[in-house]
């Protein structure tokens, strides 16, 4: 993380205002024309939540639990019931996560529903929380930065190469406008990982030459189809199992572990090959994604990352990372470094923090101080691309090169967003969706 020079600090109000004016291209315009671009009349940091599901509710709660003068002023979701459930939880003074009800001020005319709801919510805020399914992230991130808002957004930040490229381009614009962007790969904000990272950078394990990362467990929720739903609504409700929305679980969850390797290594793979399939989750309710992937990621210096992710009940569960260097090994889950078979460093886990809260604490503290401190988007875009590269390798059974995939222009998103629009994948007469088949599925001619 970079800290700006003290001389560049301004007040929070000026900072938000300046960023907003930059976004609107209005710095040269008379100040009176700020109407509609700068909403705060005091030091309140106004927040808009876009995506009111479970993670969105949690992220909004964490934002409102920071020490800063924050207020939730707008909410947006594709579904009204999800927005209402979220609002009810955040407004509940007896919420077991904390009482933030006094910081929730969202009138009916600031609750927006539908595919275009995000534009209306974003316009009312200083900071935007983006927590819809990740397929929408490139679109929503571009709008937030265009409008001059600071951003917290969840990982991953896309589901296809075209989305990744879009986020990389928007990240450059965010940096130019000095808009803070934090992305929810929370290990970057976790004390033990930060301490391990410092020691790796200091050379304690030498050069990293290989790694093992795992996200193996039972899997997640399923939303069953209801008779009244259009195909688009069904896929939106059961979004985890459709690639245009989720990107498969190698992207949606395993990115946490893959990103740790990229972070500590300070590099991204140049190619990948692997295998995968669906042996257990074979029902129509599981859409089109696999239930296991095993990928070899190759880095330019010869380093290899072996990555496993599996969603199969009753199997060995592990979510962790192990990095092997020329002088030692990092075991992230144990928060220790091993050298010659002995523990050479052990982080005191009693000092561990809640990284989900810390990422919000640090973001809002920076905004309150008028600091430009966080530019996570480009880094997370490239870790998202690593996960997508792995998915392309397991789906095709071929060696897939980074540059070719990233620059392919491949988009798996719909051409139109509406409840009667046609999603990119459709079921057959029996309700089953096409599944990628290694050796048959091709991404390049």
Whole-angstrom distance, CA of residue 382 vs CA of residue 280: 30
- Structure-model confidence comparison of residues 238 and 33, the more confident one: 238
pLDDT at 2: 34
* Tokens (6 digits) for 431: 């309700």
Q: Is the pLDDT of residue 28 over 60?
A: no
Question: Comparing C-alpha atoms, which of 159, 60, 143, 64 is closest to residue 102?
Answer: 64
How far, CA to CA in Å, does 404 sit from each of 272, 276, 301?
12, 21, 19
Average pLDDT, the chain: 92
In this predicted structure, the answer to whether residue 24 has a pLDDT above a threshold of 90 is: no
27-34 CB contacts, 8 Å cutoff, 24+ apart = none
Residue 331's CB is within 10 A of a number of other CB atoms, namely 15
**324 forms bridges with which residues in the sheet?**
210, 329
Domain coordinates of the chain in residue numbers? 45-187, 197-351+376-407
CB 16 within 8 A of CB 38: yes
Report how far residue 112's alpha carbon sits from residue 78's, in angstroms, rounded to the nearest whole number: 8
Question: Given this model, what pLDDT does residue 42 score?
Answer: 74
What is the average per-residue pLDDT within 42-68? 96
Q: How confident is the model at residue 40 (pLDDT cuts 50, 70, 90)?
A: low
Residue 436 backbone phi and psi in degrees, to 5: -60, 140
C-beta separation of 81 from 171 below 8 A? no
Q: Between these two residues, 32 and 25, which has the higher pLDDT value? A: 25
**pLDDT tens digits, 163-214:** 999 999 999 999 999 999 999 999 999 999 999 999 999 999 999 999 999 9
State the fold for domain 45-187: Rossmann fold (3.40.50)
Could you tell me the two tokens for 410?
């491949």
How would you class 31 by CB atoms within 10 Å of its CB: exposed for 0-12, middle for 13-18, buried for 19 or more? exposed
Residue bearing tokens 């609107």 = 24
Per-residue exposure over 61-91, b if at least 16 CB sit within 10 Å of its own CB, e if not: bbbbbbebebbbbbbbbbbeebbebbbebbb
- Is the separation of the CB atoms in 374 and 180 below 8 Å? yes
What is the DSSP secondary-structure string of 186-205?
GGGG-HHHHHHHHHHHTTTT
Instruction: Tell me what the mean pLDDT of segment 233-260 comes to.
Output: 98
Q: What percent of the chain has a predicted confidence (pLDDT) above 90?
A: 90
What pLDDT score was predicted for residue 41?
55
Pick among 3.30.360.10, 3.40.50.300, 3.30.479.10, 3.30.365.10: CATH of 197-351+376-407 = 3.30.360.10
Whether residue 37 is predicted with pLDDT greater than 90 in this model: the reply is: no
Tell me: cis bond preceding 156? Omega within 30 of 0 counts: yes
Q: Which residues contact 363 (CB under 8 A, 6 or more apart)?
A: 127, 150, 152, 180, 182, 374
Where do runs of H (alpha helix) occur along 291-369?
355-369
Same CATH fold assignment for domains 45-187 and 197-351+376-407: no
pLDDT tens-digit readout, 323-360: 999 999 999 999 999 999 999 999 999 999 999 999 99
CA distances to 56, 115, 288, 417 from 413, in Å: 22, 14, 15, 9
Q: Which runs of E-coded beta strand occur in 268-374?
A: 271-277, 292-298, 304-311, 318-325, 329-331, 336-339, 342-346
pLDDT computed for residue 445 by the predictor? 81
CB 366 within 8 A of CB 180: yes
Tell me: the pLDDT tens digits for 370-392?
Answer: 999 999 999 999 999 999 999 99
Any idea which residue has 């792995």 for tokens?
Answer: 390
């Amino acid at each position: 993380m970079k800290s700006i020079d003290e001389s560049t600090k301004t007040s929070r109000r000026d900072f938000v205002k300046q960023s907003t004016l930059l976004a609107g291209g209005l710095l040269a315009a008379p100040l009176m024309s700020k109407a509609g671009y700068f909403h705060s009349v005091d030091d309140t940091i106004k927040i808009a939540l876009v995506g009111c599901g479970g993670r969105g509710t949690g992220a909004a709660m964490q934002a409102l639990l920071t020490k800063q003068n924050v207020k939730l002023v707008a909410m947006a979701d594709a579904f009204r019931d999800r927005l209402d459930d979220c609002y009810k939880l955040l407004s509940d003074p007896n919420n077991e996560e904390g009482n933030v009800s006094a910081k929730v001020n969202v009138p009916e005319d600031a609750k927006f529903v539908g595919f275009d709801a995000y534009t209306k919510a974003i316009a009312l805020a200083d900071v935007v929380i983006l927590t819809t399914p990740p397929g929408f992230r490139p679109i929503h991130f571009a709008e937030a930065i265009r409008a001059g808002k600071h951003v917290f957004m969840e990982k991953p930040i896309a589901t296809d190469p075209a989305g990744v490229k879009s986020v990389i381009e928007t990240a450059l614009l965010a940096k130019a406008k000095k808009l803070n962007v934090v992305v929810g790969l929370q290990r970057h904000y976790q004390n033990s990982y930060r301490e391990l990272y410092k020691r790796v950078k200091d050379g304690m394990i030498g050069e990293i030459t290989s790694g093992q990362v795992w996200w193996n467990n039972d899997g997640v929720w399923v939303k069953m189809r209801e008779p009244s739903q259009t195909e688009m609504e069904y896929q939106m409700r059961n979004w985890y199992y459709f690639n245009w929305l989720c990107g498969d679980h190698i992207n949606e969850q395993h990115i946490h572990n893959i990103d740790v390797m990229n972070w500590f290594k300070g590099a991204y793979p140049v190619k990948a090959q692997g295998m995968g399939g669906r042996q257990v989750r074979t029902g129509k309710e599981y859409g089109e994604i696999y239930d296991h992937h095993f990928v070899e990621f190759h880095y330019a210096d010869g380093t290899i990352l072996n990555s496993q992710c599996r969603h199969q009940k009753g199997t060995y569960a592990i979510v962790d990372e192990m990095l092997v260097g020329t002088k030692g090994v990092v075991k992230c889950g144990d928060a220790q470094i091993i050298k010659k078979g002995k523990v050479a460093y052990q982080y005191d886990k009693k000092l561990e923090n809640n990284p989900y809260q810390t990422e919000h604490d640090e973001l809002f503290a920076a905004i309150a101080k008028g600091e430009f401190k966080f530019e996570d988007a480009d880094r997370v875009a490239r870790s998202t691309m690593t996960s997508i590269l792995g998915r392309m390798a397991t789906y095709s059974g071929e060696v897939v090169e980074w540059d070719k995939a990233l620059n392919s222009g491949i988009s798996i998103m719909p051409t139109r967003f509406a409840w009667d629009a046609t999603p990119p994948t459709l079921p057959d007469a029996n309700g089953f969706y096409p599944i990628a088949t290694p050796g048959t599925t091709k991404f390049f001619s």
